[in-house]
Structure 1
Amino acid sequence: MARKERIVELDAVRAFAFLAVVYQHVIGVYMRKPGVDEMTAFLYGKLFHLLKFAVPAFVFITGLVLFYNYYERVNYPGFIRKRFTEIVVPYAIWSLIYMVWHRDVTGWDVSTLVGVVQKLITGSASYHLWFVVMIFQFYLLYPLLLKGFKAAKQRLSGRAGKVAAVGAAALLYAGLMWVSARYLPAHPFRFDAAWLDAYLITYRDRNFLFYSFYFLLGGMVALALPAFRSLLQRRWPYLLALFAAAYAYIGYELVRDSGGFLVNLNVATSLKPSMFFYTVAQLLLVYLLAVLLTKRDSRWTAWFSMIGRNSYGAYLVHALVLTYVMKGLNVWDVTGSTMLGSVFAFLLCSAASIAFSYGLAKLPFGAWLVGAAEKKRANAPGQSERQWKQAM
């Protein structure tokens, strides 16, 4: 299968998403520091909302890339072998590193091995590794998802039918978010089968169904990239207005549902209807920003491309890096618990994580540790990329 041209703006979207993830986790650390007053906590909460597009953005990118490259045909054995090597192997290695670091592995008896397997399956070796378990489900199920997507596409006729189908999918997904955020916490509903209960309730935050809309949205965009870019540039004022209104509402929810004077960041979960509509509007604006920034080759384009290519390895290692960054800042008492301190910690953690991933990727066995970062090295824009840049 001929390799298609790179979608240059995706590296920028990946970079934005990775940086947003790091700052989210920095905020989580600073919210627990002593001396955080009510106003600072509220500001952290509002900033946290601005960063919540990260995981949906990664899922959206996954759908876009898979449908863009494997819409006509997919050789599943080779496809899944490649993803296993580039995603699961680094994930497993870093999971073991985190388990040893957390002293979860103190020997190699049967109970320890069972615990290791459970943590690998559930993505619970560290607080950020759940994402890999969730995203890999889309790769495993891609042929089925593609078949369903094509079947739905064949049954839809005309623009109105497609718009109605997208609207219906959005409403169904919003209903699923309501079940997750409102119904399940309020009702002691459980499945008899332990594995089903774990998959659909206990670990629903890493169940692919609860992020499926963003994946399918990426698939739709992949089939109409030029039109999608043009639409974003024409309709950005409406998207901005929708984003502002949704941002104000989820800010109100944050205060209302925190249940006290200090903000509770758990209220800002992505798995609720208001955050879904907000995230879609924000994700479209983020994509537009990436398109505009990569329209012309510049130093910013090169930086975002480098961050985007190394984002997976940096994601795997950043929790470890953040721990030592905070230890250093606490020892030196740099900026205390202030907002400026969080910015400083974010910059240090992001830079060190990217540098770590970049360095590991240079090693002969680097792909086993950080994925295929070196294979993603950007080439000069091809003819199709030059055409869409000239058309904008």
Structure 2
Amino acid sequence: MTMKMNYRNFFQDKTAADNGDFLKVIAVSAVFLQSILGFALNAHPNTDTQIRIGISYNVVKFSAPAFIFSILFTNTRYNLGTKFNTKKFYLKILRSSFFPYYLWGIIYLLLFPNLQQINHYHNFQSFLWQLISGNAAPHLWYAVMMLQFLVLMPLFNLLVKWIDFNFQLRVKKFIFYLIIILILSASWLIFYDCLIFHGPKMHDWYLFDRFFMSFALYGFLGVLCAIFFEFYCDFLSKWKYSIVAILILSFIVINLELFQFGLPLNLANAPYYKPSMTFYDLSVIFLISLFAIHVGPRFKKTSYLIHKLAQIAYLAYLPNAMWSWILWNLFGKILFQQVPFLSILIIYCLTWILSFITAFLSSPIFIKAKKNLA
């Protein structure tokens, strides 16, 4: 009880990090590695290196679900008991999310056209399609998916008010809504597995991987865990060892599933949209949340730093593929042939630093854009 109350009191301070901030920073830091591992795999490494790349890729495969959970958790925490201003919110995300996405998408298409996915543009119409669809760079598909959640945020806030209306039935309502969400999510996973993942619509319906419904489970859980926060804390504390066991077991399963497709390794065979990956992602999210609950109130300076990094995490995410591609071509490709994983580590660290520096330097531009819109 003391831990729970200390956490709740500490995060009344809006300058401190909450669960969502910790998740956001860790998720963004993890996703930086995915593009680098993709570059490394394209260098045609030996069998042992491919296996290590595949395992490393699965380790950080929680990034997108954790980021979505974090956005909805933090948004719900900030808006509980307040009046949601839809117009003000849309103006805010136009400046903070849409404008940076399209700016960086144009930069990728014009200056780094080789990073395009699926197809390459050949006229203005195909240029717009690559920009809008998230195909301008390897990582922008996720930004397209995240933007859908931001557009739907007013609906999530209506859901928050509806669920939070009767305080007395909080735990029962949590379980009820959780069951509904799990049923819908399971149905979606079955649909995706049967028709899209190595299914008859694999190429025609590839855009479903960035459709918000594919990550709705994590968004709804972020909302529920913020509303029923005390119940969430109790759950994490009581079941932490079981969560660790699920993490280990699911991690073994997702690696077995990836390597059953054989070599050469194809990272597309490690999708988010399967039961084993869902269990892995949720267990990582829960353990990071548990870490945040314990660390936040005890290490306030660290918490404030995490909060500041979380504020620019999205702006750091957008240029990360650019920096990793530049570093890979400058020296990483050659170094990889000599010391594969040392080269990956060096490129990762430099990418992290350069991406957050870029975010820090570019954030005043978007702040100014916000003022102009206002």
**Offset at 1:299?**
6.1
Q: Which residue of 1 aligns with 2:179?
A: 167
Letter in 2 for 1:169: I
1:141-220 alignment, distance < 5 Å: 141-148=152-159, 150-151=161-162, 159-160=171-172, 162-185=174-197, 187-188=199-200, 201-220=205-224
After superposing the two structures, state which structure 1 stretch, 18-27 or 136-145, moved more: 136-145
Letter in 2 for 1:180: Y
Alignment deviations for residues 348-375 of structure 1 (CA, whole Å, 9 cap, x no partner): 11111112222233x4x25369x99xxx
Q: Which residue of 2 aligns with 1:83?
A: 93
**Offset at 1:56?**
0.6
Letter in 2 for 1:20: A
SS at match of 1:119: helix
Q: Which runs of 5+ in 1 are unaligned?
A: 105-110, 191-196, 373-392
**Offset at 1:126?**
1.5
Alignment deviations for residues 325-348 of structure 1 (CA, whole Å, 9 cap, x no partner): 112224763663512221111111
Alignment deviations for residues 309-328 of structure 1 (CA, whole Å, 9 cap, x no partner): 32111111111111111122
Structure 1 209/19 Cα, relative in aligned 2: closer, same or farther at 3 Å?
A: same
CA distance in 1 between counterparts of 2:368 and 2:102 reads 10
Structure 1 169/298 Cα, relative in aligned 2: closer, same or farther at 3 Å?
A: closer
Correspondence 1:137 to 2:148: yes
**Offset at 1:73?**
2.8
| Contact kept in structure 1, 2:188 and 2:214, CA below 8 Å | yes
**Offset at 1:236?**
1.0
Letter in 1 for 2:174: K
Alignment deviations for residues 54-106 of structure 1 (CA, whole Å, 9 cap, x no partner): 111111011112222234532211111111111101111111111111359xx
Q: Which residue of 2 aligns with 1:51?
A: 60
| Contact kept in structure 1, 2:113 and 2:136, CA below 8 Å | no
Structure 1 267/187 Cα, relative in aligned 2: closer, same or farther at 3 Å?
A: closer
| Contact kept in structure 2, 1:12 and 1:308, CA below 8 Å | yes
| Contact kept in structure 1, 2:77 and 2:227, CA below 8 Å | yes
CA distance in 2 between counterparts of 1:331 and 1:49 reads 22
CA distance in 2 between counterparts of 1:242 and 1:332 reads 39
| Contact kept in structure 1, 2:174 and 2:228, CA below 8 Å | no
CA distance in 2 between counterparts of 1:336 and 1:360 reads 36
Correspondence 1:255 to 2:268: no
Q: Which residue of 1 aligns with 2:324?
A: 322
| Contact kept in structure 2, 1:13 and 1:286, CA below 8 Å | yes
1:121-132 alignment, distance < 5 Å: 121-132=132-143
Alignment deviations for residues 224-246 of structure 1 (CA, whole Å, 9 cap, x no partner): 33442343233211110111111
| Contact kept in structure 1, 2:35 and 2:138, CA below 8 Å | no
| Contact kept in structure 2, 1:334 and 1:341, CA below 8 Å | yes
Correspondence 1:16 to 2:5: no
| Contact kept in structure 2, 1:330 and 1:336, CA below 8 Å | no
**Offset at 1:169?**
1.8
Correspondence 1:221 to 2:225: yes
Alignment deviations for residues 214-261 of structure 1 (CA, whole Å, 9 cap, x no partner): 0110001111334423432332111101111111111211121x2x23
CA distance in 1 between counterparts of 2:165 and 2:190 reads 30
Q: Which residue of 2 aligns with 1:92?
A: 102
Letter in 1 for 2:62: F
| Contact kept in structure 2, 1:33 and 1:337, CA below 8 Å | no
Letter in 1 for 2:58: H
SS at match of 2:223: helix
For the aligned residue pairs, the C-alpha RMSD in angstroms reads: 3.0
After superposing the two structures, state which structure 1 stretch, 160-169 or 297-306, moved more: 297-306
The share of aligned pairs that are identical, in percent, is 21
CA distance in 2 between counterparts of 1:368 and 1:179 reads 44
Structure 1 230/157 Cα, relative in aligned 2: closer, same or farther at 3 Å?
A: closer
Letter in 2 for 1:247: F
Structure 1 265/331 Cα, relative in aligned 2: closer, same or farther at 3 Å?
A: closer
Correspondence 1:283 to 2:294: no
| Contact kept in structure 2, 1:42 and 1:262, CA below 8 Å | no
Alignment deviations for residues 373-392 of structure 1 (CA, whole Å, 9 cap, x no partner): xxxxxxxxxxxxxxxxxxxx
CA distance in 1 between counterparts of 2:23 and 2:291 reads 9
SS at match of 1:90: helix
Q: Which residue of 2 aligns with 1:352?
A: 354
Structure 1 309/139 Cα, relative in aligned 2: closer, same or farther at 3 Å?
A: closer
Alignment deviations for residues 109-141 of structure 1 (CA, whole Å, 9 cap, x no partner): xx8442333233212222211222211112222
Structure 1 118/332 Cα, relative in aligned 2: closer, same or farther at 3 Å?
A: closer
